[in-house]
């Protein structure tokens, strides 16, 4: 039996795309292997949001060229955002690569592999053919593969983004926003629940910009939250511009929607926010957070932050720290600005020295780590519902899981299974997680 290995970089959308590739490959007679060196087909699903993941792809391709010399017939493919952006250029640069394809061409994988096996090198970075329905391009694949892993499932409800934030390459690599039909999403969700999903996460680059006919994100979220036997509902990533108090009220009224949101704010300075073309001010962001906290008091809010955007002064960086201290995020995903060719920000002078960017990042992480540590301490003694999602990698008879607020928990010495929902009392903490004691 042929073996396939997929290396995934980047966001949840890429993770989801890799699962789709796996399903297609299984249908084509492959088994999915965890070991690259045993594979007959290696696919690298790439991310171009920052320079670092892109560098990793090229360094991996360098290593693969050595493996390929030893293994005749090995097929190497590059998928995802770097593939979409660079296309043919990768084939020219990397002799070892047989196949390049973008996110819209995943469904063509069997045809592309047949062409490669016939001795051709293939590039497919076409956008979705307009005559086909969107569900052909962001399909649900777990339906065909049986049980859902970890009792958690993801459903892509949109692809692409219309926002064109000046630092972001996503609209170029993923295209304009398209939304799936509500009925199609709901039927996928019902199938997933029947297959054992307790928690569903709705995915989209700008998930709350969802709009299919008369159905907006509010209507979709409400319909999802009313599905029988669904225990938890999450979504990622919403944009502050498309967030409103009505959505906050919905989160408050529907218990199934987890008390957790990832709402990127990027920077605290209005001048930089405007250069980033984010379309909102720090004050507007904070107002939305304030209302959300008022109606969902125990909500865990995580965010994305960029430090060292072109022209960012020390005072402007301090404004970012101020937002972090005000909101008390849990957690913050912070990155130093890295120029992405093809974005509007690439035309700006990337004038902050790397050392300053790194120092600002360290300063920010120090502030954030101390906040996060306090937030974990605050949870000790609290009661939580935990969805069990795995066995602890080191502790015997211990299981891991997450609270509604998405905090990782360890339940020691228990007799639980993946997919169990249990009530615990938080009895201690580790560096980044909490320890729960079963209460029933
Ligand atoms: S909202 Fe902005 S940062 Fe998010 S995917 Fe769209 S362009 Fe990129």
274 and 178 inside one domain: no
242 and 269 inside one domain: no
CA-169 nearest atom, ligand 1: 8
Q: How many CA atoms lie within 13 A of 52 on its CB side?
A: 6
Closest CA to 372 of 306, 324, 319: 324
Write the residue with the smallest CA distance to atom 2 of ligand 1.
165
3-state secondary structure 34-73: CCHHHCCEEEEEECCCCHHHHHHHHHHHHHHHHHHHHCCC
Residue 426 pairs with which residues in a beta bridge? 436
76 and 146 inside one domain: no
| pLDDT at 110 > cutoff 80 | yes
Query: Which of 107, 124, 141 is a domain's end point?
Result: 124
Q: Rounded to whole angstroms, how far apart are CA atoms 415 and 411? A: 10
341 and 391 inside one domain: no
Distance from the Cα of residue 372 to its chain's centroid: 21
Question: Ligand 1 center to residue 280 CA distance, Å?
Answer: 13
245 contacts: CB under 8 Å, gap ≥ 6? 288, 291
114 and 34 inside one domain: yes
- Measured over the CA atoms of residue 3, residue 392, residue 389 and residue 324, the dihedral's sign is negative
Whether the CB of 333 sits within 6 Å of ligand 1: no
pLDDT value at position 16?
87
- Out of 16-25, 212-221, 229-238, 305-314, pick the least confident: 16-25
Question: Ligand 1 center to residue 155 CA distance, Å?
Answer: 19
Q: Rounded to whole angstroms, how far apart are CA atoms 250 and 207? A: 16
Whether the CB of 170 sits within 6 Å of ligand 1: yes
pLDDT value at position 133?
54
Q: How many C-beta atoms lie closer than 10 Å to residue 421's C-beta?
A: 15
Question: CATH number for the domain including 60?
Answer: 3.40.50.12160
Whether the CB of 161 sits within 6 Å of ligand 1: yes
pLDDT value at position 131?
46
Mean pLDDT score, 265-273: 98
| pLDDT at 261 > cutoff 60 | yes
Range of the domain at 184: 131-258
232 and 272 inside one domain: no
388 and 374 inside one domain: no
Tens of pLDDT, residue by residue over 279-329, are 999 999 999 999 999 999 999 999 999 999 999 999 999 999 999 999 999
Question: CATH number for the domain including 375?
Answer: 3.30.750.200
| pLDDT at 240 > cutoff 80 | yes
What band does 142 get if pLDDT is binned at 50, 70 and 90?
A: very low
- Mutational pocket test of ligand 1: of 205, 208, 274, the residue with most ligand atoms within 8 Å of the beta carbon: 205
Question: Ligand 1 center to residue 237 CA distance, Å?
Answer: 9
Question: Ligand 1 center to residue 29 CA distance, Å?
Answer: 37
401 contacts: CB under 8 Å, gap ≥ 6? 386, 387, 388, 389, 390, 408, 409, 411, 422, 436
What band does 134 get if pLDDT is binned at 50, 70 and 90?
A: low
Tens of pLDDT, residue by residue over 34-76, are 888 889 999 999 888 777 777 888 888 888 888 888 888 899 9
Mean pLDDT score, 236-256: 97
Question: Ligand 1 center to residue 321 CA distance, Å?
Answer: 22
Q: Rounded to whole angstroms, how far apart are CA atoms 101 and 355? A: 36
168 and 211 inside one domain: yes
Q: Rounded to whole angstroms, how far apart are CA atoms 198 and 401? A: 13
| pLDDT at 94 > cutoff 90 | no
107 and 201 inside one domain: no
Whether the CB of 205 sits within 6 Å of ligand 1: yes
Write the residue with the smallest CA distance to atom 5 of ligand 1.
205
pLDDT value at position 148?
66
pLDDT value at position 310?
97
More confidently predicted of 131 and 199: 199
pLDDT value at position 440?
67
CA-205 nearest atom, ligand 1: 5
What band does 32 get if pLDDT is binned at 50, 70 and 90?
A: very high
Helix (H, G, I), strand (E, B) or coil at 307: strand
Distance from the Cα of residue 125 to its chain's centroid: 22
pLDDT value at position 43?
95
- Mutational pocket test of ligand 1: of 48, 81, 156, 161, the residue with most ligand atoms within 8 Å of the beta carbon: 161
Whether the CB of 206 sits within 6 Å of ligand 1: yes
pLDDT value at position 25?
92
Query: Which of 124, 150, 167 is a domain's end point?
Result: 124
pLDDT value at position 23?
86
304 and 372 inside one domain: yes
Write the residue with the smallest CA distance to atom 8 of ligand 1.
168
Whether the CB of 239 sits within 6 Å of ligand 1: yes
Question: Ligand 1 center to residue 332 CA distance, Å?
Answer: 17
pLDDT value at position 139?
46
Query: Which of 333, 359, 379 is a domain's end point?
Result: 379
What band does 331 get if pLDDT is binned at 50, 70 and 90?
A: very high
Question: CATH number for the domain including 419?
Answer: 2.40.50.140
pLDDT value at position 128?
66
pLDDT value at position 52?
75
Domain count along the chain: 4
CA-164 nearest atom, ligand 1: 7
Average pLDDT, the chain: 91
120 and 9 inside one domain: yes
pLDDT value at position 410?
97
CA-206 nearest atom, ligand 1: 1
Tens of pLDDT, residue by residue over 382-431, are 999 999 999 998 888 899 999 999 999 999 999 999 999 999 999 999 99
Tens of pLDDT, residue by residue over 180-224, are 899 989 999 999 999 899 999 999 999 999 999 999 999 999 999
178 and 232 inside one domain: yes
Question: Ligand 1 center to residue 168 CA distance, Å?
Answer: 6
Residue 171, CA distances (Å) to 49, 163, 176, 178, 201 in order: 11, 7, 6, 11, 22
Whether the CB of 276 sits within 6 Å of ligand 1: no
Whether the CB of 165 sits within 6 Å of ligand 1: yes
Question: CATH number for the domain including 150?
Answer: 3.30.750.210
CA-174 nearest atom, ligand 1: 5
Question: Ligand 1 center to residue 139 CA distance, Å?
Answer: 22
| pLDDT at 138 > cutoff 80 | no
């Amino acid at each position: 039996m042929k073996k396939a290995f997929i290396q995934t970089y980047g966001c949840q959308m890429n993770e989801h795309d890799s699962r789709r590739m796996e399903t297609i490959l299984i249908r084509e007679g492959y088994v999915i292997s965890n070991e690259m060196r045993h594979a007959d087909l290696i696919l690298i699903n790439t991310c171009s949001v920052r320079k670092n993941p892109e560098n990793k792809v090229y360094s991996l391709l360098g290593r693969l060229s050595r493996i390929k010399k030893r293994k005749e017939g090995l097929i190497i493919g590059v998928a995802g955002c770097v593939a979409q952006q660079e296309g043919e250029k990768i084939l020219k640069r990397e002799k070892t690569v047989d196949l390049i394809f973008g996110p819209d061409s995943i469904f063509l994988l069997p045809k592309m592999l047949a062409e490669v096996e016939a001795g051709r090198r293939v590039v497919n970075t076409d956008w979705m053919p307009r005559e086909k329905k969107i569900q052909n391009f962001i399909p649900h694949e777990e339906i065909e593969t049986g049980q859902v892993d970890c009792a958690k499932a993801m459903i892509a409800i949109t692809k692409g983004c219309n926002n064109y934030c000046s630092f972001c390459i996503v609209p170029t690599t993923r295209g304009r926003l398209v939304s799936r039909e509500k009925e199609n999403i709901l039927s996928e969700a019902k199938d997933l629940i029947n297959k054992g999903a307790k928690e569903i996460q709705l995915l989209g680059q700008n998930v709350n910009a969802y709009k299919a006919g008369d159905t907006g994100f509010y209507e979709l979220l409400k319909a999802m939250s009313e599905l029988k036997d669904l225990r938890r509902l999450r979504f990622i990533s919403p944009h502050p511009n498309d967030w409103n108090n009505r959505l906050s009220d919905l989160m408050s009224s529907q218990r199934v929607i987890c008390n957790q949101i990832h709402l990127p704010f990027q920077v605290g300075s209005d001048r930089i926010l405007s250069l980033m073309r984010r379309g909102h001010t720090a004050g507007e962001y904070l107002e939305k957070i304030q209302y959300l906290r008022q109606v969902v008091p125990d909500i865990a809010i995580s965010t994305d932050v960029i430090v060292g955007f072109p022209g960012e002064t020390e005072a402007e960086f301090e404004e970012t720290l101020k937002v972090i201290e005000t909101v008390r995020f849990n957690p913050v995903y912070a990155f130093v600005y890295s120029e992405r060719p093809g974005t509007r920000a690439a035309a700006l002078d990337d004038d902050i020295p790397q050392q300053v960017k790194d120092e600002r990042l360290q300063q920010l992480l120090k502030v954030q780590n101390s906040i996060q540590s306090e937030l974990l301490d605050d949870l000790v003694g609290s009661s939580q519902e935990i969805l069990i999602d795995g066995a602890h990698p080191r502790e015997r008879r211990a299981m891991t899981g997450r609270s509604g607020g998405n905090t990782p928990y360890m339940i020691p010495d228990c007799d639980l299974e993946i997919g169990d929902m249990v009530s615990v009392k938080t009895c201690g903490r580790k560096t980044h997680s909490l320890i729960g004691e079963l209460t029933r």
